[in-house]
Structure 1
Amino acid sequence: MLDAQSLLEQTRELIRLAKEAHERYKKGKEEGAEHDFFKVVKPSADRCEKALQSWLNGSLAYVKEYRPKYIHEEQLRSVEENLNEIVLQSYFCKIHKKRFKDLTESVLYTLKNIEDDIQKGDRG
């Protein structure tokens, strides 16, 4: 049995990570901050990747079981790929601002859709 409540919590954690990365990117663009790769960047990217793996398994099962109208497997896989990129790029600020913004909005859009679907479906 799929635990919708735990998927909801994981989804909210990813939303938090995406927003945190967005703030870090904005701040880095302004201040030009340098980050130690092994002390800061890699552990953060690893945490994100671990959270994403767990979330992806749950969200794929959720989509398979409940078939939400506007959420599809490709979107979930894009969230995984794009959120990993956002978190990594947020430390270096080398990615074009518009691309970073588009990736962030895409990730947040899908995550919010899942969050809303779980809440309205009352599937806990």
Structure 2
Amino acid sequence: MDVMSLKADTNKLKRLIDERHQRFLNTEGPVDKKSYDFFNQVKKETDPMFRLTNEWVKEAEAFVKDRKTNVHPNQVKSTHENIEMIILHSYYLDVHRKRFKELYQSSHYVLDMVLDDLEQNEKSSL
């Protein structure tokens, strides 16, 4: 488990969900969910985002399993699912703002906890 990679990926996810949040707030909806072209555009654009989230969940699960952390493994799994929903909802705009904000804030909270735990582990290993 590469701690530096987890730290970098966690920071990338924080930026990613910030970008998705802005897209959600600034995009006029609704979209045509039956549009094949739109589906292909979303698939193409989201593929690297989903790869990042899948890589992060593996790294984060290994990190919380192997060390004393404040993050529970279920929080890692839930955050992974929440981030995937944030990505999709930022395109399809099919959720209320309040729910999107809850997903967004919850994800940031756990990502920040992971970063704090990484920092604590760095300090304790010096």
Indicate whether the TM-score tops 0.5.
yes
Matches within 5 A, 1:1-124: 2-28=1-27, 31-32=28-29, 36-39=38-41, 41-68=42-69, 70-122=70-122
CA distance in 1 between counterparts of 2:109 and 2:24 reads 19
Number of residue pairs matched? 119
Deviation of residue 33 (structure 1)? 7.6
C-alpha RMSD over aligned residues: 1.9
TM-score, normalised relative to structure 2? 0.86
For structure 1, the residue ranges without an aligned partner over 5 or more in a row are none
2: distance between equivalents of 1:113 and 1:17?
17
Distance across 2 between alignment mates of 1:44 and 1:72: 31
Determine which structure has greater relative contact order: mean sequence separation of CA pairs < 8 Å that are 6+ residues apart, divided by chain length: 1
Runs of 4 or more, structure 1, over 6 Å off, are none
TM-score under structure 1 length normalisation: 0.87
Distance 1:26 1:119 in 2: 32
Aligned residues of 1:25 and 1:93 also touching (Cα < 8 A): yes
5+ residue gaps, structure 2, are: 33-37
Once the two structures are TM-superposed, the CA of residue 37 in structure 1 deviates from its matched residue by 2.3
Q: Deviations over 1:11-55 (max 9, x none)?
A: 111111111110000001xx338582212x112322222111111
Greater C-alpha radius of gyration: 2
Cα distance in 1 between the residues matched to 2:121 and 2:68: 11
2:39 aligned partner, one-letter code = F
Q: Distance in 2 between matches of 1:20 and 1:116?
A: 22
